[in-house]
């Protein structure tokens, strides 16, 4: 817990440090990124243990989705930073020739990065890497729901960086509320839509630009021509990873009526084959972050509709991988983002039913997954549904490609990042036109008499 005066002082120091322009040079950026990479490698054991304690994450998932994900991001950023920093040349229209035009990527300044509980390592460090690569300073605020991970992040940041460059603020809602009153140059928030709107309202008071990485109900569509064995394998993977606490997890499945029974039978067998008949004994299956979220998710399960799972244990924060059938929009489970290991299955006959279902839900989906072997079906669904990003015949894998911008649309988010998009998100694109002095066409200057005809021709 840091007192308000200390928080305000850190933000003030960061502005001074940023204004000194030390963070702007390529050498500074690359050295700090390398230092961060060494630090994360050193903290791997501590992070893995903390993720196990806070979320029951397996060592494998901790590496692939958190520590390894961040290291890979750092390798990629370190490799390409010099190239990204080069001003981008663009064409110059004839009317303003002779001149050249360039876009310079300049740092935004002092950033506030707020991260959620579910992937506390990757969702804190991926924006931080982008911020550092773009030459910024940053204040980090992680989730109080994962106290062990937050403590380890705090230790790493305090070990590696001076607070005037990268600072960690410990605390809960009051500290974050106070932080949001400070003047930042950019706020990067990952979390729920509810808190996203609080962040946006606070940012508006200072006219601070925001990036919002939010959630929502992401659909998964399984068409009648899908390869069902592949579909159930990949849907179970995407849904039950981190016990369903993944912003891009398939929230619900819409399956074609003709293959519904076969789909339910196959997904039931798939769940048992990966986690055993009692998933609470599986070392690969995680736990719900706290009792409040546990009770919320349990309340969404309608036991009369359960095909597999439905078991839970409050003391252990365990909820079995659960599939529900014959679900409609009237069910509680369709009224909010589930964010847990419960998979409702709805049936459809025509695509119009899919489009209507998605439209009736409050948010544009952050992700969308389509399982079909037909290019025409894939095309129709990609074009017909508004979503942030997604996959055809897989789940979640689009996040693994740094060349794809990651972000939501409409209420599922503002702005995107990852790879170059992240660097771009934390940069200001400064437009510079360099005019030549050896020639000065008098066409544009007053008096204008007799010049309009020529100008009209040039501007066509």
**Under the rule (CB under 6 A), what is the footprint of ligand NAD?**
114-118, 123, 141-144, 173, 176-177, 190-192, 195, 198, 213-215, 247, 337, 339, 366, 408, 413
Residue 164 annotated to the active site: no
Q: Encoding tokens for residue 123?
A: 């969702």
In angstroms, what CA-CA distances link 297 with 321, 332, 335, 339, 367?
Answer: 12, 10, 12, 8, 20
Q: How far apart are CA 139 and CA 6, in angstroms?
A: 13
Q: Which lies closer to ligand NAD via its Cβ, residue 141 or residue 234?
A: 141
Q: Which residue is nearest to ligand NAD (CB)?
A: 215
Q: Which lies closer to ligand NAD via its Cβ, residue 127 or residue 309?
A: 127
Q: Which lies closer to ligand NAD via its Cβ, residue 195 or residue 298?
A: 195
Judge whether 1 and 154 are in contact, CB under 8 Å. Answer: no
Q: Which lies closer to ligand NAD via its Cβ, residue 232 or residue 368?
A: 368
> 175, 213, 337, 424: which is the annotated catalytic residue?
213
Question: Tokens 């934390």 identify what position?
Answer: 426
Question: Tokens 């940012």 identify what position?
Answer: 203
Nearest CA-CA partner of 129 in 191, 87, 79, 202: 79
| CB of residue 49 to ligand NAD, shortest distance in Å | 21
CA 411 to chain centre: 13
| CB of residue 417 to ligand NAD, shortest distance in Å | 9
Residue 247 annotated to the active site: yes
CB atoms within 10 A of CB 342: 26
- What 3-state class would DSSP assign to 256? strand
| CB of residue 312 to ligand NAD, shortest distance in Å | 19
| CB of residue 193 to ligand NAD, shortest distance in Å | 6
Q: Which lies closer to ligand NAD via its Cβ, residue 130 or residue 255?
A: 130
In angstroms, what CA-CA distances link 132 with 72, 106, 205, 208?
Answer: 16, 12, 26, 19
Judge whether 121 and 47 are in contact, CB under 8 Å. Answer: yes
Nearest CA-CA partner of 255 in 218, 216, 225: 225
CB atoms within 10 A of CB 62: 25
Tally: H helices and E strands in the chain = 16, 20
Q: Which lies closer to ligand NAD via its Cβ, residue 116 or residue 390?
A: 116
Torsion, Cα of 344, 345, 347, 352 (10° steps) = 60
| CB of residue 344 to ligand NAD, shortest distance in Å | 17
CB-neighbour burial class of residue 351 (10 A; exposed 0-12, middle 13-18, buried 19+) = middle
> 164, 175, 220, 247: which is the annotated catalytic residue?
247
| CB of residue 444 to ligand NAD, shortest distance in Å | 47
CA 1 to chain centre: 27
| CB of residue 340 to ligand NAD, shortest distance in Å | 11
Q: Which lies closer to ligand NAD via its Cβ, residue 33 or residue 367?
A: 367
Nearest CA-CA partner of 75 in 24, 48, 38: 38
Active site residues: 213, 247
């Amino acid at each position: 817990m840091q007192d308000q005066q200390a928080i305000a002082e850190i933000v003030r120091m960061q502005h001074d440090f940023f204004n000194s322009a030390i963070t702007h040079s390529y050498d500074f950026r690359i050295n700090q990124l390398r230092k961060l990479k060494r630090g994360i490698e050193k903290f791997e054991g501590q992070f893995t243990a903390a993720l196990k304690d806070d979320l029951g994450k397996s060592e494998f998932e901790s590496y692939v989705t958190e520590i390894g994900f961040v290291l890979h991001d750092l390798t990629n950023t370190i490799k390409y930073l010099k190239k990204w920093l080069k001003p981008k040349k663009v064409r110059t229209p004839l009317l303003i020739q002779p001149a050249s035009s360039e876009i310079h990527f300049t740092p935004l300044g002092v950033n506030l990065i707020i991260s959620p509980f579910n992937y506390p390592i990757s969702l804190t460090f991926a924006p931080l890497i982008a911020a550092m690569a773009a030459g910024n300073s940053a204040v980090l605020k992680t989730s109080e729901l994962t106290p062990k991970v937050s403590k380890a992040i705090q230790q790493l940041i305090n070990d590696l960086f001076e607070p005037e460059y990268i600072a960690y603020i410990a605390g809960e809602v009051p500290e974050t509320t106070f932080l949001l009153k400070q003047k930042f140059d950019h706020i990067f928030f990952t979390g729920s839509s509810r808190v996203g709107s609080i962040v946006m309202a606070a940012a508006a008071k200072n006219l601070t630009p925001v990036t919002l990485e939010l959630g929502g109900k992401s659909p998964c569509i399984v068409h009648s021509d899908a390869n069902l064995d592949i579909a159930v394998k990949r849907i179970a993977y995407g849904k039950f990873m981190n016990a369903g606490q993944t912003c891009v997890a398939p929230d619900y499945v819409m399956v074609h009526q003709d293959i519904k029974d076969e789909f339910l039978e196959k997904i039931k067998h798939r769940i048992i084959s990966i986690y055993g008949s009692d998933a609470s004994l599986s070392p690969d299956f995680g736990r719900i972050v706290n009792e409040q979220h546990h009770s919320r998710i349990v309340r969404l399960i309608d036991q009369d509709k359960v095909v597999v799972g439905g078991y839970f244990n409050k003391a252990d924060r365990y909820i079995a991988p659960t599939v529900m059938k014959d679900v409609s929009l009237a069910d509680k489970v369709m009224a909010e983002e589930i964010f847990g290991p419960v998979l409702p299955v709805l049936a459809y006959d025509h695509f119009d039913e899919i489009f209507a279902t998605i439209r009736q839900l409050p948010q544009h989906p952050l992700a969308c997954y389509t399982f079909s072997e037909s290019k025409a079906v894939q095309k129709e669904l990609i074009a017909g549904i508004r979503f942030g990003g997604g996959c055809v015949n897989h789940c979640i894998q689009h996040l693994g490609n740094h060349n794809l911008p990651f972000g939501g649309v409409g209420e599922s988010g503002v702005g995107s990042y990852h790879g170059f998009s992240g660097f771009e998100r934390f940069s200001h694109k400064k437009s510079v036109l360099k005019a030549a002095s050896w020639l000065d066409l008098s066409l544009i200057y007053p008096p204008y008499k007799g010049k309009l005809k020529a100008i009209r021709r040039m501007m066509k």
